[in-house]
Chains A and B, each alone.
Chain A
Amino acid sequence: MAMRVAFRCLTANFSPVLIQRSRPVQISASRLLWKANPAQSLSTASRLSTALKFTDKHEWVRVEGGIGTVGISKFAQEALGDVVYCGLPEVGQKLEQMEEFGALESVKAASELYSPLTGEVTEINTELAVNPGLVNKSCYEVGWLIKMTIDNPAELDGLMDDCSYEKFIKSLDE
């Protein structure tokens, strides 16, 4: 039976209630938040994703020290199946928000990757060259894809936090 995956394109329209939960962009604020939650465990994907912002294309971005780390969500890696190759950009490449920056090849297809933000690539995860399966095994941690500068921090406000993203993927199943 074929997998039916709904990757619908939604415009971001978030309820005001959710804004309370979204993390501020500033470095010091996010560090404060970590300190305020010393017991916060990083062991589960849902806990991890509290620091993440998500796109409707199922990429996530985590901001630390003005640099965004980008990866794909658990939902996305499950839908993709076993990743066999990660086609990533070059360091120094400039990306516009929503611009295609690479592709993940899995047994399912070559799936394009879309930049969550506007910025410049500062690092790519070279581990993925030898172990592309890390994207499946550890999509929020060691399976990250690229790191990039954040040229327009306001773009982060337009992304979903974990709650909104959970709701979004639930709506795709309907």
Chain B
Amino acid sequence: MILRTFSNLCAQSQACFRSARAKSTLSDVIDETGKSGLILKSLSTDIFENLALEDWIHDHVDLQNRNMLFLWSNAPAVVIGRHQNPWQECNLQVMRQKGIPLARRRSGGGTVFHDLGNVNFTFFTSKKNYDRHRNLQVVTSALKGLRPDMDVRATERFDILLNGQHKISGTAAKLGRTAAYHHCTLLCSADRALLSAVLKPTCQGIKSNATQSVPSPVKNLLDEDPTLDCDTIMDSVASQYNTEFGFSSPVTLVDPSDELSLPGIQRMACELLAWEWTFGRTPKFSICTTFELKNDTSICNATLNMDIKNGIIETCDIEVPSDWLPVELSREFSLHLIGGKLCPYQTSVIAAAFLRTIPQNKEFERKMYNLCRRVVFMM
């Protein structure tokens, strides 16, 4: 598999036109190659840059008579579907502790964990040529090409199962104005312990109509065959893509942070990074949960009811037994949270300010502090 950098591709197209050109955008260069099939591979492992590149290609490249395959891998990240609820899907606490970002993609589907042991394939086509089965066949054929005895099959839900049991790939897709993309993951050598830890939601009592993930037992291809690594698999899928669609495209490396070749991409990545998109686009939901509050001498149960819209707390009612804390305190704290983001950082700031207003009473202060901490922890 010949690897070319984007600048090589530029040079090639410039040579074709026998004139020196100012640096073109990626879509200009692609048009100039005149090729109907192209394979791109990302130089970046940043989830937001790579998702932005997907969007950029979808918006700017003429895909009416062209297919493209995009190969990419990311540093650890959790990626939720467009209409999902992150509080319902993943362990935000653990993610924050480990510095694992949350990303919301523009396609539908469920929640996945990405790391450098997971490979992503995005198949770009016109809407007319959108065919997930065919795309997944490229992947399964590529794997069987490497290991003829391997039992890998695509299901009706467009998952790929290993040995009929373990999920090694999930699919999601987006249909736009005239073009479509279908992307899927492939677990090669992902950190399964970390995967399980982050995909276990900790926020209880959520009532929501957001699209929910269907949890499945997973496995790495590496567990099946230690000689199967990400690069081998990527190469094989790229080859198979050419075979399946009758192309002869080399793999071209692309830098998704290159604003000159990809004008507007930095803004797209920023949009994907913004709280308003990752958390704020969560469909309206409510939380109704009880939790324990302890101090040295006693325990009690508190209840929390919240309505959240666009990630903002619209209503909040925290009830604590009156013999534990004066009702006015928990009520006032509830009021302080209304209008704020369901965000532990912002809530900590609000809680700290609130705690300073409590009348001098060590016992109340401690209990209130515990309550605040518990509420922040839930976020």
Contacts and interface: CB of A to CB of B under 8 A. Distances in A.
Q: Are chains A and B native binding partners rather than an unrelated pairing?
A: yes
A150 interface: no
B128 interface: yes
A170 interface: no
Contacts of A109: 107-108, 130, 172-175, 180, 182
Interface residues of A, number: 23
Interface string A83-102: 01101000000000000000
Given A110-B175, A112-B177, A2 B132 contact: yes
A169 to B, nearest CB: 13
A114 interface: yes
A34 interface: no
A9 interface: yes
Contacts of B82: 87, 103, 105, 110
Given A110-B83, A129-B284, A2 B178 contact: no
A130 B132 CA distance: 28
A26 interface: no
Contacts of A7: 127-128, 175, 178
A108 B173 contact: yes
A116 to B, nearest CB: 13
A8 B178 contact: yes
A2 B134 contact: yes
A2 B83 CA distance: 24
A111 interface: yes
Given A7-B178, A85-B283, A110 B127 contact: no
Contact of B107 (A1, A85, A110, A114): A110
B83 A6 contact: no
Contact of A2 (B81, B106, B133, B176): B133
Contact of A84 (B173, B174, B211): B211
Given A2-B131, A5-B130, A8-B128, A85 B210 contact: yes
Interface in B118-169: 127-134
A64 B109 CA distance: 36
Can you list the 9 inter-chain pairs with the closest CB atoms, starting with the nearest? Answer: A109-B173, A110-B108, A7-B127, A105-B108, A111-B175, A2-B131, A6-B128, A85-B83, A109-B175
Interface of A: 1-2, 4-9, 57, 84-85, 87, 103, 105-106, 108-112, 114, 129-130
Interface of B: 81-83, 106-109, 127-134, 172-178, 180, 182, 209-211, 283-284
Given A4-B129, A8-B178, 12 more contacts: A6-B128, A8-B128, A84-B211, A85-B108, A87-B283, A105-B108, A109-B174, A109-B182, A110-B83, A112-B177, A114-B177, A130-B209
